[in-house]
Amino acid sequence: MPHFTTSDGLSLCFDDTGGPGPIVLCLSGLTRNASDFDYVRPHLKDARVIRMDYRGRGQSEWAEDFTTYNLVREAQDALELLDHLDIDKTAILGTSRGGLIALTLMEMAPNRITGVCFNDVGPVIETEGLEVILVFIGRKPVWTTRSEAAEALATRLPGFHNVPPSRWAEEAAHHFVETADGLNINYDPKLRNAVLAEFDPKAPAGDMWPQFNKLKGRPLAVLRGENSDILSQKTVTEMQSRAPMLAAEVKDRAHVPFLDEPECLDVLHQWIAQLPNGEPA
């Protein structure tokens, strides 16, 4: 996959399918990478799909200063990728962290965002779900092989049902590296330090409703796993009351849906059909 260099000198990995149709920048979950969208990408032939590994994740370079693993810097990286590709405007398909980056961009460069589809994330993050994430982020896996990890994901990940074993094997391959000392994570462990600094679970819960409100008038969509502990149904209802948007609850899924579920694909195709065709800058 190709790379580009950020304004602070990091080499970040990206993927661009090219082709006609609206431009959709896919932004992944907190510890994850462009492979988050491997399942859905073959279904999105009606769009130009661009994916990026955040700094410190996947095939992108790790930062010497872990404090740059923050929403504002990652949003700036996204803008610099668009500049690198001579793209003026894009829609965003944001999974978890990616949706928060989309909201951050509405503060930084709202005129460059044509629409957003939120995958199991919204302006309010449930504290319960955040605390679960903080337990494992940056930790070396306890399993020794990807096969063990896949079996564990299938039996221990709450809220997911009727997922074939092959999917958990793919997930293990996407997110764990096999080494002589067992499995390891494929992102900078110091991401944990950055998240603890950015999100204090003991502090009053903030929200990003002001940024969300700026999205009104653009094509919007939200996907929620029916068992999600990050995005509540209450938040989805509030999102829908503030702006017209497509929405689906994904059966047998928690945080996050894989995006190739029928409910997701139906919403995604409707959403893409509403987006303006992207033109180079």
Pick the range with the lowest mean pLDDT from 88-97, 163-172, 270-279: 270-279
Q: Answer yes or no: is pLDDT of 115 > 80.
A: yes
Q: Answer yes or no: is pLDDT of 199 > 90.
A: no
pTM, 2 dp = 0.95
In tens, the pLDDT along 173-191 reads 999 999 888 899 999 999 9
| Residue 205 confidence class, pLDDT cut points 50, 70, 90 | low
* pLDDT (0 to 100) of residue 280: 41
| Residue 281 confidence class, pLDDT cut points 50, 70, 90 | very low
Asked whether 112 and 279 are in contact (CB, 8 A), the reply is no
Pick the range with the lowest mean pLDDT from 10-24, 52-66, 200-214, 234-248: 200-214
List beta partners, residue 48. Answer: 23
Average pLDDT over residues 32-47: 95
| Residue 116 confidence class, pLDDT cut points 50, 70, 90 | very high
Query: How many Å apart are CA 138 and CA 136, to the nearest integer?
Result: 6
